[in-house]
Structure 1
């Protein structure tokens, strides 16, 4: 108990070493114990739906092919629009966009993910589910929000990763988990109002 008390005191009472970030930080860019980066950014979460049912219906090898295909599409579309991948959580991926066009780029990336799934992945799945009586169509949702974030490292030495604290990552993650809504992309008013003012329709 004393060991944990000492570690917790180090977390609660150490002064933050906060820096304004001009680029999306990597894990090694943030000090382990009290480092933090402030960043204005747009967060995109892409989350494949029904992964639990997918695993129940197909052999692990086939389910893994489908999940990997989805993540490959999401990563490529995010990177193609200048986004930075900073987190995976099962079949969900997080992208961070910065700069003056960050909201536009995030929305474009989300639209591109949906387009590739509809035009390439699902048609392939309709004919290529080898030795399976079941069919599968990938559905998903992208959540996007924008705002200031406070980026720190969580975990312990040699076992830590970046954690984004703020409305934008939290809300974008929750929006990506919506099911049963029309369409495949949900954005907040912070993103929509900016695009609307710029004359962009989605």
Structure 2
């Protein structure tokens, strides 16, 4: 079969075939779904994207090995923090990581993870970087976006090269929030903010969050924070 016929047949099948769906309780693995129109539904999930800011300038101006060490240290810390807060890592995409929380407890641990990533950057990675390379005068910055919504997981790709795609507002908004270039290192939607307890909203009786209007999304309400959550163990 020629490539063009394979593409024509594959596209036609995706548009033609009916979807099979089922409710999800745990984050699925790719092999849990078929490559056909098969999806796992979650009434609500919380998505976190953690993105390394300024990575293009980094690779343009620094040695490859220095850039690789920046990537590796950031993704190491982000991944371990996401897992420590009960999240599942769904993908690594260059200099960013996507985490997901499902079940009863999801938005609070996702936000704690974001604030802990901010702590790790300020208190662990940058001090170690300055100690190892004092002449580089380089500091890591990151942006983390979080949203919560209903979402579906489907398997995409081809045999031997496929993964899950997460379809729903939370995945898109969390990713887009990392494009914001303002002082806050953590951004969450109003829906995510409204799911938080006081322990994730307040520090010493003072709000950790400032309300903003997201001009790129019809001025909807979002919240940004410069705070971090200490990692004590």
TM bin, normalised by shorter chain, reads over 0.9
Give the Cα separation in 1 of the matches to 2:184 and 2:55.
19
- Structure with larger RCO (C-alpha < 8 A, sep 6+): 1
The alignment status of 1:178 with 2:180, answered yes or no, reads yes
Q: What's the TM-score once normalised by structure 1's chain length?
A: 0.93
Which consecutive residues of structure 2, in runs of 5 or more, have no partner in the other structure? 202-207, 209-233
Q: Shift in Å at residue 22 of structure 1?
A: 0.3
Matched length: 197
Give the SS at the match of 2:22: strand
Contact persistence 1:43–1:146 (CA under 8 A): yes
1:183, distance to aligned residue in structure 2 (A)? 1.7
SS of aligned partner of 2:180: coil
Match for residue 30 of structure 1 among 33, 46, 49: 33
TM-score (norm 2): 0.81
**Which has the larger displacement, 69-78 or 10-19?**
10-19
Task: String of CA shifts for 1:160-185, please: whole Å, max 9, x gaps.
Answer: 11000110000000002221x12210
Alpha-carbon distance, 1:199 to partner: 3.1
Return the offset for 1:9.
Answer: 1.4
Runs of 4+ in 1 over 3 A off after TM superposition: none
Whole-Å separation in 2 of the counterparts to 1:94 and 1:78: 9
For the residues of structure 2 that align with 1:159 and 1:120, how far apart are their CA atoms? 36
* Whole-angstrom CA distance in 2 between matches of 1:147 and 1:113: 22
**Comparing 64-73 with 150-159, which one deviates more in the overlay?**
150-159
Choose from 11, 14, 18 the match for 2:14.
11
The answer on whether the counterparts of 1:42 and 1:146 sit within 8 Å (CA) in structure 2 is yes
Measured in 2, the distance between the counterparts of 1:141 and 1:147 equals 20
Q: Which runs of 5+ in 1 are unaligned?
A: none
Q: Does 1:78 align with 2:82?
A: yes
